[in-house]
Amino acid sequence: MTASGCVTVHGELEVVPAATRSEAGQALKEFTAAYNAADKAYDPALDEDQVGGSLGAINQAGLTARQKNSPNGNANHRTLELTDATYVIPEKAGWPRWFVADTDSNRDQDNGEQDTRWLIVFVKSGPGAGWKAVYLSVVAPSQLPGFAKDGDGRAEPVKADSAELAVAPEELSEQYTGYLQKGTPDVFAPGPSTSLWRTTRQNTRRAGFSYQYIDQPLDSGAFGPLGLKTEDGGALVFFSSKHFERQTAAKGLRPAVTPDVRALLSGEVKSTLTKERVSSQLVYVPKKGAKPGKVTVLNRLPGLTSAKGS
């Protein structure tokens, strides 16, 4: 019995760590093994139980396309290694529960690239469910602020409707897609995934072709935002969004279709090609009242999920 007289079943009402460190380590191990098997065979069925949310949508569509184009598998497969893992595990009541695995990967070795960390968010939807990786962000260590800790040394999750931040996590997807469409609200710091991306899209030019872009929020269920408080009162937040690019050709012309697009294509491309992408973002959100108070996009991971011709 809890202090309020409610019965706690499977920890739904009790505030507990989302996972033990051994449980988190096992989830990372199983994800990595499944990811490698799926990438080697180009078979989405081999890791579909290990991924969800925006990462799952991107992963499964990408593997589906590559399987169609390379039915014998990935001749250039290189085993992904995730090492030096630390686990940021918040305490919370109820479900879903989640944690972040902060890892080093072998993807930035031997090629002169800056050292990066892979942040993978794992979610468990209920007591009988397995852990699924739903977000992946690749970030330079210098970009990551320190996480706030509670009295037990645990990370502190941010409520979706938090009024303590410049933008509540539940509003980020809508505000981001609104900004890309209209340039407002002006809450995002300039950068490659904000101001520069808008400028690039506005200046898309090719003789005989026109381009339209539509951006939509993606913020419910497995695509919902997840955030952790930082030491300065702000938060690191993962969130998702959806983006459409429509290319229309003048009479006598036809949009080009790459093999990856064709593999996910429905309909026939006569004069129009519409590409649908899912994107996940990792952002730093300052506390309300901080100066300059802009949301900074630290990483954006987009992936083609479908295409339609007409």
Residues 74 and 135 in one domain: yes
Whether residue 238 lies inside any domain: the answer is yes
Q: Domain limits at 51?
A: 8-144
Letter for the amino acid at 249? A
Which of 206, 208, 179, 211 has its CA nearest to residue 195? 179
Place of tokens 């002169």: 112
Whether residue 230 lies inside any domain: the answer is yes
CB within 8 A of 180, min separation 6: which ones?
A: 194, 197, 198, 201, 213, 215, 243
Residues 57 and 85 in one domain: yes
Instruction: Count structural domains, the chain.
Output: 2
Averaged pLDDT score across all residues of the chain: 93
Give 142-201 pLDDT, tens digit per residue. Answer: 999 999 988 877 899 999 999 999 999 999 999 999 999 999 989 999 999 999 999 999
The helix (H) or strand (E) run that includes residue 76 is none
Residues 310 and 161 in one domain: yes
Place of tokens 């695509």: 223
In this prediction the pTM is 0.93
3-state DSSP percent of the chain in helix, strand and coil, to 5: 25, 35, 40
pLDDT at position 109 is: 63
Whether residue 3 lies inside any domain: the answer is no
Rounded distance between C-alpha atoms, residue 21 and residue 10, angstroms:
18
Question: Given a cut of 70, is residue 239 above it in pLDDT?
Answer: yes
CB 268 within 8 A of CB 167: no
Give 243-283 pLDDT, tens digit per residue. Answer: 999 999 999 999 999 999 999 999 999 999 999 999 999 99
Rounded distance between C-alpha atoms, residue 280 and residue 305, angstroms:
13
Of the residues 144, 167, 202, the one at which a domain ends: 144
Give 97-155 pLDDT, tens digit per residue. Answer: 999 999 999 988 655 567 899 999 999 999 999 999 999 999 999 999 999 988 877 89
